[in-house]
């Protein structure tokens, strides 16, 4: 049976960031990822500040060849019917990136493996229990097997698979969902500005980003009960509402929906307990932000780095994981304040249940 200092369940940006940081500190690390990174992954735009954690991790050079295009601006019709531009030329960190998340995540995992982490792809977490060490049951395509680890990390994203199996529960602050469509151009000559575009509407808001493939991701963010009340299929609902937009319908007149619309959970969420005896949760497994924050990958990378510091302190400080839990709560509380303030900028639909819910202050 293989034994490690740390076993990380989940190979997204938070898990890979933590794996790289721990390897730089000399820890033996196992990272388990259930996919092979070939499936579509949400979250295609990187905040310009992402250069900070990527530089700390020393992985910029290994990511430079992953498919991406520069994110030159952010356009928003929010609180005002006009589309307002905020160009990246005014950002001290430069431009952001529009990326292929699957390839980006795969490159980060490869960087962790290059640093000496053992990375198991297409391997699922089954269960874990703790004696002197964690005994963790995993399963791949061929076998079910066990590994041992001194410490255990949940980096499984919003499902928080490990933490929930250990007794933590999720606290949800809304029921936001994303109805995600991928658009293809009607001809090879079509293109849109390399910008992230937001447009608020009565029952939610739209989010558009160009992809390195030449296609466009266009997501409608609304509450689950509002969508279910329509009694329409996701694609029918999406197609009906995009026609009613003032700006996006015009910008995308020469594009068509290439695939069926998918539904993804996009709610604001946190665990009631983000760390315990011998384990912690990182990234979206600990807490997840509304996509409006626009910094999911940045948050995940920073979370992995911060968690590595907690592991370092843990050997000499029995309160290290509790302090980590408290620091995540403080960060989450600050996010809630900013979230409410941003939504309160939009006052055009005062009777809409979607906006009324978000104009109310929420406390942790």
User: Does some domain include residue 123?
Assistant: yes
Q: Tell me what the pLDDT averaged over the chain comes to.
A: 91
Three-state DSSP at 297 gives helix
User: Residue 159: its pLDDT value, please?
Assistant: 95
Q: Tell me what the mean pLDDT of segment 52-63 comes to.
A: 89
User: What count of Cα atoms within 13 Å lies in the side-chain half-sphere of residue 41?
Assistant: 22
**Count of all residues that appear for the chain in the document:** 364
User: Does some domain include residue 253?
Assistant: no
Between vectors from CA 352 to CA 180 and to CA 345, what angle results, nearest 5°?
80
Q: How far apart are CA 235 and CA 329, in angstroms?
A: 37
User: Residue 28: its pLDDT value, please?
Assistant: 97
List the CATH number of the domain containing 118. 3.50.50.60
Residues 38/306, Cβ–Cβ less than 8 Å: no
Strand duo 96-99 + 45-46: pairing: antiparallel
pTM over 0.85, yes/no = yes
* Predicted confidence (pLDDT) per residue in 88-123, tens digit: 656 676 777 778 888 999 999 999 999 999 999 999
User: Residue 65: its pLDDT value, please?
Assistant: 75
- Which class for 318: exposed (0-12), middle (13-18), buried (19 or more C-beta within 10 A)? exposed
Q: How far apart are CA 302 and CA 57, in angstroms?
A: 10
Which of 43-47, 62-66, 267-271 has maximum average pLDDT?
267-271
Query: Which pair of structure tokens corresponds to residue 300?
Result: 């995940």
* Predicted confidence (pLDDT) per residue in 291-315, tens digit: 987 788 999 999 999 999 999 898 8
Give the other-Cβ count within 10 Å of 329's Cβ: 16
User: Does some domain include residue 233?
Assistant: no
Residue 180 CA to its chain's centroid (Å): 15
| pLDDT over threshold 70, residue 338 | yes
User: Residue 66: its pLDDT value, please?
Assistant: 81
User: Does some domain include residue 163?
Assistant: yes
Which of 46-50, 69-73, 122-126, 309-313 has maximum average pLDDT?
122-126
User: Residue 40: its pLDDT value, please?
Assistant: 72
- % of residues, the chain, pLDDT over 70: 95
| pLDDT over threshold 70, residue 355 | yes
Confidence of residue 41 (pLDDT cuts 50, 70, 90): confident
Give the other-Cβ count within 10 Å of 194's Cβ: 16
Q: How far apart are CA 300 and CA 155, in angstroms?
A: 9
User: Does some domain include residue 297?
Assistant: yes
User: Residue 195: its pLDDT value, please?
Assistant: 80
Q: How far apart are CA 326 and CA 274, in angstroms?
A: 9
Residues 93/48, Cβ–Cβ less than 8 Å: yes
Beta bridge partners of 210: 216
By residue range, what is the domain housing residue 289?
2-71+98-171+270-337
User: Does some domain include residue 44?
Assistant: yes
User: Does some domain include residue 303?
Assistant: yes
Kindly give the residue spans of alpha helices, DSSP state H, lying in 25-160. Answer: 51-57, 60-63, 101-114
Residue corresponding to tokens 């269960």 = 127
154-to-62, 159, 164, 239, 265 alpha-carbon distances in Å:
25, 10, 9, 37, 19
User: What count of Cα atoms within 13 Å lies in the side-chain half-sphere of residue 342?
Assistant: 16
Confidence of residue 349 (pLDDT cuts 50, 70, 90): very high
| pLDDT over threshold 70, residue 1 | no
User: Does some domain include residue 332?
Assistant: yes
Residue corresponding to tokens 């952010």 = 74
What total of structural domains would you count in the chain?
Answer: 1
* Predicted confidence (pLDDT) per residue in 188-220, tens digit: 776 766 788 999 999 999 999 888 888 899 999
Q: How far apart are CA 68 and CA 305, in angstroms?
A: 24
């Amino acid at each position: 049976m293989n034994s490690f200092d740390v076993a990380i369940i989940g190979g997204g940006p938070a898990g890979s960031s933590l794996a790289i940081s721990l390897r730089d500190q000399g820890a033996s690390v196992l990272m388990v990822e259930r996919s092979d990174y070939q499936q579509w992954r949400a979250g295609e735009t990187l905040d310009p500040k992402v250069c900070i954690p990527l530089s700390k991790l020393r992985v910029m050079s290994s990511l430079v060849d992953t498919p991406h295009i520069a994110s030159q601006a952010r356009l928003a019709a929010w609180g005002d019917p006009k589309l307002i531009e905020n160009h990246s030329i005014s950002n001290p960190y430069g431009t952001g990136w529009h990326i292929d998340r699957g390839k980006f995540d795969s490159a980060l995992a490869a960087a962790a493996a290059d640093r000496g982490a053992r990375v198991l792809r297409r391997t699922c977490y089954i269960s874990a229990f703790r004696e002197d060490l964690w005994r963790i049951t995993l399963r791949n395509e061929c076998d079910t097997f066990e590994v041992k680890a001194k410490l255990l990390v949940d980096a499984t994203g919003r499902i928080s698979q490990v933490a929930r199996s250990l007794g933590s529960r999720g606290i949800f602050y809304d029921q936001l969902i994303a109805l995600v469509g991928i658009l293809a151009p009607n001809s090879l000559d079509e293109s849109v500005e390399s910008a992230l575009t937001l447009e608020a509407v009565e029952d939610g808001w739209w989010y558009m980003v160009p992809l390195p493939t030449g296609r466009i991701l266009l997501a409608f963010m609304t509450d689950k009960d509002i969508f279910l009340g329509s009694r329409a299929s996701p694609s029918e609902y999406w197609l009906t509402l995009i026609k009613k937009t003032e700006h996006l319908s015009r910008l995308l007149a020469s594009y068509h929906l290439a695939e069926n619309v998918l539904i993804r959970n996009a709610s604001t969420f946190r665990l009631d307990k983000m760390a315990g005896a011998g384990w912690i949760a990182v990234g979206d497994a600990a807490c997840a932000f509304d996509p409006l924050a626009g910094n999911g990958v940045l948050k995940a990378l920073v979370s992995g780095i911060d968690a590595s510091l907690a592991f370092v302190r843990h050997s000499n400080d029995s309160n290290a994981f509790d302090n980590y839990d408290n620091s995540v709560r403080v960060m989450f509380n600050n996010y809630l304040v900013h979230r409410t303030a941003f939504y309160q900028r939009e006052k055009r639909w005062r009777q809409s249940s979607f906006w009324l819910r978000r104009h109310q202050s929420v406390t942790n």
